[in-house]
Amino acid sequence: MDTTQRTDQQRSADRRRRELLEAADRVVLRDGPQASMNAIAAEAGITKPILYRHFGDKGGLYAALAKRHTDALLDSLRAALDAPGDRRERVEATLDTYLAAIEARPQVYRFLMHPAEGSQVGDQGFDVGKHSAPLLRRMGEELAKVIEERLDLGPNSRQLARVWGHGIVGMMHAAGDWWLGERPCPRAELVRSLADLLWGRLAAAGDKVGGPGF
């Protein structure tokens, strides 16, 4: 098989994978954590063995969907961090972007973060912690990079940036999870409250000389 044939086959496989993920998204939007491989296969117009051929099992499909949604969320968070405005405004915009994303697609959020809610007898081995923890770690590392690049934290800045990055993501996740379930206050009020919590040393740290600022 020549290079052109392999490239065409890869493009076709990639296109088919995107189509299957879009079908899975539609089912997840409808069913949340209860989304099953049977329902996704039916939505895609294929049999379950073909779905397994592309993703292996529910865990493989979950990982692919998680990457798809995490990539999109990270792009939105980066845009909020880079938007015009002072540091407080950008922090609030970033918090609001995350909360708006989970509010807009709560079923997707629950599928990604609470898939065990929909576990059935045939879903052995699908461990929520095994799959959701890497999403949060990735977000924490991405935020840590932004903090390290933009703030002058003095000695041991890389470690402190990672502590802050993972701590802020953990705060957003825990507070957002609670808020999405109980809706105790408007989103804007939650954003202000979380920003107030952060507004200690983060507000006092100086920007790096010549950097883009935070």
Residues 6+ apart with CB under 8 A from 146: 78, 81, 165, 214
Rounded CA gap, 61 and 57, in Å?
Answer: 6
Q: What is the mean pLDDT of residues 77-93?
A: 90
Q: What is the mean pLDDT of residues 163-179?
A: 95
* Residue 126 in this model has a pLDDT that exceeds 50: no
The reply to whether CATH 3.20.20.450 applies to domain 58-207 is no
* Residue 119 in this model has a pLDDT that exceeds 70: no
Q: What is the mean pLDDT of residues 107-115?
A: 83
132: confidence class by pLDDT, cuts 50, 70, 90: low
Structure tokens at 114: 């609470």
- pLDDT score, position 121: 38
1: confidence class by pLDDT, cuts 50, 70, 90: low
pLDDT tens digits along 47-73? 998 888 888 887 888 888 888 888 888
Report residue 154: phi and psi, to 5°.
Answer: 75, -155
pTM of the model: 0.80
* Residue 97 in this model has a pLDDT that exceeds 80: yes
* Residue 101 in this model has a pLDDT that exceeds 90: yes
Mean pLDDT of the chain: 85
Q: How many CB atoms lie within 10 A of CB 33?
A: 18
* Residue 127 in this model has a pLDDT that exceeds 60: no
Rounded CA gap, 214 and 102, in Å?
Answer: 24
Buried residues in 196-213 as b, exposed as e (16+ CB within 10 A): eebeeebeebeebeeeee
> Which range is least confidently modeled, 91-100, 175-184, 192-201?
192-201
3-state SS, one letter per residue, for the chain: CCHHHHHHHHHHHHHHHHHHHHHHHHHHHHHHHHCCHHHHHHHHCCCHHHHHHHHCCHHHHHHHHHHHHHHHHHHHHHHHHHCCCCHHHHHHHHHHHHHHHHHHCHHHHHHHHCHHHHCCHHHCCCCHHHHHHHHHHHHHHHHHHHHHHHEECCCCHHHHHHHHHHHHHHHHHHHHHHHHHHCCCCHHHHHHHHHHHHCCHHHHCEECCCCCCC
**How far, CA to CA in Å, does 122 sit from each of 24, 47, 84, 118, 126?**
18, 16, 49, 11, 10
